[in-house]
Structure 1
Amino acid sequence: MPELTIHYRDIKTVVQFEKGAGLLETIVQSGIPIEGSCGGRGRCGKCTVELINGEVHAKDGRRIHPLKGQGSRYHACQVYCDKDLEVHVPDLMTASGKILKKGVELYKEPEPMLRRHTVKIGKPTLGDPKSYQELLLKALEPGLAIGTASSLKELPRIVDEGQGMVEVFSYRDRIIHIGPGSGESDCLGLAIDIGTTTVAAMLADLHTGRLLAVETETNLQASYGADVISRIIAASTGDGLKRLHALATDTVNELVKRLCKKAKTSSQKVYSVTVAGNTTMNHLFAGVNPATLGTVPYVPLVKYFPLMDAQALGIHIHPAAIVEILPVIGGFVGADTVAGILATGQDLMEETTLFIDLGTNGEIVLGNREGLAAASTAAGPAFEGVHIKHGMRAVKGAIDRVTLSGDIIVVHTIDGSMPKGICGSGLIDTVALLLSKGIIDRSGRLQPREKLSSVSGGLAARIKEGKTGREFVLVRSRESGTGADITVSQGDIREVQLAKSAIATGIGLLMEERGITHDDIAGVYLAGAFGNSVNRDSAAAIGLIPNVNPDRVFSVGNAAGYGALMTLLFRTALIRAYTISKTTRHKELATNERFNSEFINGLSFSR
């Protein structure tokens, strides 16, 4: 398969792609944050990249020219590639507008918590009868401590085998592994974002900072429910905790296998792991019962997890590898949010910004370097295509964009194939379109055909009565990949209303508490796979996000994964993560007496 080499900040990433793949989609899948605010229409200009080596073409194979007056720069959403390619992606922290330029810490050479020390030691003698332990510690820099006795038991053999040359691996100044060698072996790390629906993992070289491979996989825990509450209940029933922990590790192990195969390396070279999951996922991955999250006052059992051994967790990498589970903020605002704040630099900015992770459990963070406040809302899995009649994840065949050309509905699928269903971004586009045409009213009611006399006949004709209520036909059966109509039902619209009201109510209460209006928000960051693909105009039209200047809305992709990668490669980033966890104020919306009334008011599309 051809390879795409991506230069972002000082990190070089190499990923493989299918021939004919879109450049924007390939960059997004790599985990590198890149803007795509217009939904891939080539309008916003946010996804501009510089072509260093290789050739690109338009979707139909025709030659495509660089942007006028911009050298070798292209809109990534408009170009496709067949052969090896090398591009530079502008730093999101400096390319997305003035609001991102101040106070953002840029990391240079990797300096991970996992360190490799190469020393030469001799053997004990009658003239100098020091123990092997003393000889080793004398050769190493001061401050290092022996982690476990097991790391010492093979030291005489290691000294003999390496002819005195010894490799010592330490984490947080604790020696975790000792082996023979000259310091030339690979030293790899793994950054993992464990989501309720999807798990993303990145394999990186801890010495160079190079990202070797990126993979995603459906969280195998999905069989126990689509939301965290279902998982919490399941974990408290019988051997549910044991099963859910095993499914989490099975998912990670599958990713490890694929990552190492793609990077052509061994999992035994992975010595360090950082994990950024939501609060429930952190607990289940660690094998800790999250039951306290399911009852008042909805607090986690563990906020700061101790360092854990990969072998004890059941992760198939080097047996001495250390797993660092990043800290949470509280309740349902987890380590993925901490990592997102870290990746965007929200904790370092002078201006007030809003961070929204539009996932099954929607997290919201508002503030600046003077202080951050965070809350979570049970948005539900509608944005990921769950509980939607023809919903599906953002995979091949999913409708991800919907537009109107005259009276004609135009749908776009992720890979350009025949549509099989609709994912979250396509659903938001559809609801916004129907709202703009009066096909659904402000209450969310899908109007009967006879009440749509002012609406184009072509659109009105798409209304039909289904088995469970009224539906709007998005794709006719003859044009779909399933041989059946693809519709958006009244129930689907209600799911969107519930999700958008939960998010909007949380945002409104945080803004009210801070005493600010939409005009005071310098930037809105949309995180997560859905946040990266949703059209910001459609999201604002239905009231999902604040109605601010579109130029102040930024899609930041898998910010949690990128933040986890930062903590893997830079010890100062890891320290920042703990500071964010300790200083960000957690607001529990479930106990807010005004939440329910505001939520009910927010169900309409009037705001």
Structure 2
Amino acid sequence: METQRAITIHTIQNGKEHFGEYGTSAHLLDYLSKQTPFTLQAPCGGKGRCGKCRIQILSGTPSPVTDAERALLRPEELAQGIRLACLTRAEGDLSIQLEGSKRPIGNKSFLFPHPLPVDGSLRTLVLELVPPSLEDQRSDHSRLLSALATEALEIPPSLLRELPQVLREGNWRTTLLLQKNRILSLLSGTPLGKTCGVAIDIGTTTVAAYLFDLYTGEHLDSQSELNAQGVFGADVISRIQFSLEGPANLTQLQKKILTQIDGMIHQMARRTGIHQSEICLACMVGNPTMIHLALGLSPRYIAEAPFIPVTTEPLLLPARDLRLSLSAGAIVRVPPAVSAYVGSDILAGVVASGMAKAIQAGSAVPSLLIDIGTNGEIVLAHGDRLVACSTAAGPAFEGAQIACGVGGVAGAIDRVSKAGDELSYTTILESPPLGFCGAGIVDLLALLLDAGIVDETGRMLTREEAAREGHPLAERLISYDEEPAFQLVGAEKSSTGMPILLTQQDVREIQLAKAAIAAGIRTLLKGSGLSFGDIQTLYLAGGFGNYLDPRSAARIGLIPKELGGKIQSVGNAAGMGASLALLSEKTFFLFQQVRERTSYIELSSSAEFQELYVEEMLFPT
């Protein structure tokens, strides 16, 4: 009986190749996510709805094109061998090409003054140990404890693995890096290298890491990448659902993010000439779901009422437990969260913006901090208190669920303007246009509202309707999926060879997202007895806030027009807050103090929020 030959998949991305056996994978997205090191985004979580997990079949035998693919891909794309990984299986050997992995632009290194403040909690201790002999056969561990007789120190078990080699390489002279009574690192002799730490911001869409000298506070390097878990969905609910679909899925999600973080640390260490054993401390922030997945904790009950996480407490964890290749005794600080949907990343923003110290002093003027991302977190500071909520805005402003959305990467359209009847745009890094990032979508939608191409209900005119009304932009309207769409960039100028459009469905996605944010702001203010006029500053956090035009944001109703002149962008405030907590133990404890002064409003059970949400669905007139 002839044994069936295994199907081989040849995958190419960014010039790198991978060969593997297809095995029992349900579809190519399943194979790519589990068996290759490559990155592929799938905002809908592989449900066949978003059309983003595009691959190109170079040769071989794929399954026939499905009706769903015909609905999501244009005929010219199908003719080029473009398929959707979540809807395509291998029926024979295949060679496939993945889109190049795009790196988010803006590591935000310009946010770091040199140096950031350090609190001096680190110290070194140089020890001379008596070498062993036949007359002195104490263990290496006992010998070290004897030398530390005057110090009440904890020796992590992970250090014991390195102890024999370290002691002998240093000829029984060793240097300990200490934080209070904890040994972070054990080095041979008296090394002259740096002592470093890394701050990590795990966003649902983007992961950012920042390398620092722990003694001087000097910022050494940064790295940001699209979250590798994006292959399992663009939002936290998609990833929670995936974690529950199979016994190995939670482990797979954890491995995906920790492998990515370790790789980012490795790249920064290589660029700066630092050995990873010189990195002795890390601080990790993120929304509660991202932190749960990184720690291997089940997020099951985050997604079910009454929305209870495993933990919101501050944690100190051995880096080795997270398989991070740092020094043997390295510790990972995980600041606290507020609730299931307001995490340490938002508290980091409160710390970075200066709101935390004002709250601590009881003198915070009314101010708002908004992270316009997938979870749409909003916090209101007043006096010595914070009130927080999460609006589940969805990933539309980050480019997901938008037909030509690409996020903040090179080539993303980030500005759209109009002079007379002419439209112009700019792209990130002035690269050929690839698609829209959130700021570009907001700009274009604001212009279409002003032009009357989109009305207050969000309905887009057809080309015929616009022509009858004499709109000069009517010729840019086309039909897409049997609905109107506005073409900003023709296929001949696009880097993809396809036109760049804003579709009717895109407008609906933005309506839902902006209504959630706007209603969340109004709910917090009403509950606190404040008005728009009372707010002194509106801090916009996240990369989106760096590019957003406040006038466009007010025009579409994302930000109340009364607050348009009070906006202050704080960039990746989560990364800055994580960096401050990395360098200062006092700041790490400040997170907990702020958390204790924070009240959380659950909007899913708020009738007032639901009413305001419906009101905010309309665009301002």
Q: When the two structures are superposed, what TM-score results if normalisation uses the length of structure 1?
A: 0.78
- Residue 109 of structure 1 and its aligned partner are, at CA, apart by 4.4
Compared CA separation, residues 176 and 416, structure 1 to 2 (3 A): closer
Does residue 182 of structure 2 align to residue 204 of structure 1? no
RMSD (Å), alpha carbons: 2.8
Compared CA separation, residues 496 and 158, structure 1 to 2 (3 A): closer
User: 2:203 maps to what in 1?
Assistant: 195
Compared CA separation, residues 455 and 315, structure 1 to 2 (3 A): farther
Compared CA separation, residues 594 and 483, structure 1 to 2 (3 A): same
Classify the secondary structure of the residue corresponding to 1:530: helix
Classify the secondary structure of the residue corresponding to 1:308: strand
2:397 and 2:208 map into 1 onto residues whose CA distance is 18
Compared CA separation, residues 154 and 518, structure 1 to 2 (3 A): closer
User: 2:337 maps to what in 1?
Assistant: 328
User: 2:190 maps to what in 1?
Assistant: 182
Worse overlay, 485-494 or 172-181: 172-181
User: 2:225 maps to what in 1?
Assistant: 217
Classify the secondary structure of the residue corresponding to 1:226: coil
Matches within 5 A, 1:513-552: 513-548=527-562, 550-552=564-566
Does residue 293 of structure 2 align to residue 284 of structure 1? yes
Q: In the alignment, which of 373, 378, 383 is matched to residue 364 of structure 1? A: 378
Contact map agreement 2:555 2:620 (CA 8 A) in 1: no
User: 2:31 maps to what in 1?
Assistant: none
2:195 and 2:337 map into 1 onto residues whose CA distance is 28
Contact map agreement 1:112 1:571 (CA 8 A) in 2: no
Q: Return the letter of the residue paired with 2:355.
A: Q
Does residue 151 of structure 2 align to residue 136 of structure 1? no
Does residue 241 of structure 2 align to residue 233 of structure 1? yes
Q: In the alignment, which of 458, 466, 470 is matched to residue 484 of structure 2? A: 470
Q: Return the letter of the residue paired with 1:215.
A: Q
Classify the secondary structure of the residue corresponding to 2:580: helix
Worse overlay, 455-464 or 194-203: 455-464
Gaps of 5+ in 2: 1-102, 359-363
Compared CA separation, residues 139 and 120, structure 1 to 2 (3 A): farther
Q: In the alignment, which of 579, 589, 594 is matched to residue 608 of structure 2? A: 594
- Residue 369 of structure 1 and its aligned partner are, at CA, apart by 4.5
Q: In the alignment, which of 170, 174, 177 is matched to residue 178 of structure 2? A: 170
User: 1:29 maps to what in 2?
Assistant: 107
- Residue 110 of structure 1 and its aligned partner are, at CA, apart by 1.6
- Residue 596 of structure 1 and its aligned partner are, at CA, apart by 2.1
User: 1:584 maps to what in 2?
Assistant: 598
2:529 and 2:330 map into 1 onto residues whose CA distance is 47
- Residue 549 of structure 1 and its aligned partner are, at CA, apart by 5.1
Gaps of 5+ in 1: 1-24, 35-88, 92-106
Q: In the alignment, which of 550, 564, 580 is matched to residue 566 of structure 1? A: 580
Contact map agreement 2:398 2:437 (CA 8 A) in 1: yes
Contact map agreement 1:166 1:178 (CA 8 A) in 2: yes
Compared CA separation, residues 196 and 110, structure 1 to 2 (3 A): same
Q: Return the letter of the residue paired with 2:211.
A: L
- Residue 582 of structure 1 and its aligned partner are, at CA, apart by 2.5
- Residue 243 of structure 1 and its aligned partner are, at CA, apart by 0.5
- Residue 393 of structure 1 and its aligned partner are, at CA, apart by 1.7
Worse overlay, 266-275 or 148-157: 148-157
Number of corresponding residues: 508
2:241 and 2:610 map into 1 onto residues whose CA distance is 24
Matches within 5 A, 1:264-275: 264-275=273-284
- Residue 449 of structure 1 and its aligned partner are, at CA, apart by 3.7
Worse overlay, 156-165 or 175-184: 156-165
1:465 and 1:112 map into 2 onto residues whose CA distance is 63
Compared CA separation, residues 457 and 543, structure 1 to 2 (3 A): closer
Deviations 1:304-323 (A, max 9, x none): 15322222211122232111
Does residue 316 of structure 2 align to residue 302 of structure 1? no
User: 1:425 maps to what in 2?
Assistant: 439
Contact map agreement 2:184 2:281 (CA 8 A) in 1: no
- Residue 345 of structure 1 and its aligned partner are, at CA, apart by 1.2
Q: Return the letter of the residue paired with 1:391.
A: G
1:361 and 1:460 map into 2 onto residues whose CA distance is 36
Classify the secondary structure of the residue corresponding to 2:430: coil
Classify the secondary structure of the residue corresponding to 1:531: helix
Worse overlay, 543-552 or 294-303: 543-552
Compared CA separation, residues 31 and 332, structure 1 to 2 (3 A): farther
User: 2:428 maps to what in 1?
Assistant: 414
Contact map agreement 1:245 1:284 (CA 8 A) in 2: yes
Q: In the alignment, which of 431, 444, 450 is matched to residue 458 of structure 2? A: 444
Worse overlay, 186-195 or 130-139: 130-139
- Residue 28 of structure 1 and its aligned partner are, at CA, apart by 4.1
Compared CA separation, residues 211 and 150, structure 1 to 2 (3 A): closer
Does residue 122 of structure 2 align to residue 118 of structure 1? no
User: 2:61 maps to what in 1?
Assistant: none
- Residue 338 of structure 1 and its aligned partner are, at CA, apart by 1.0
Q: Percent identity?
A: 36
Classify the secondary structure of the residue corresponding to 1:538: helix
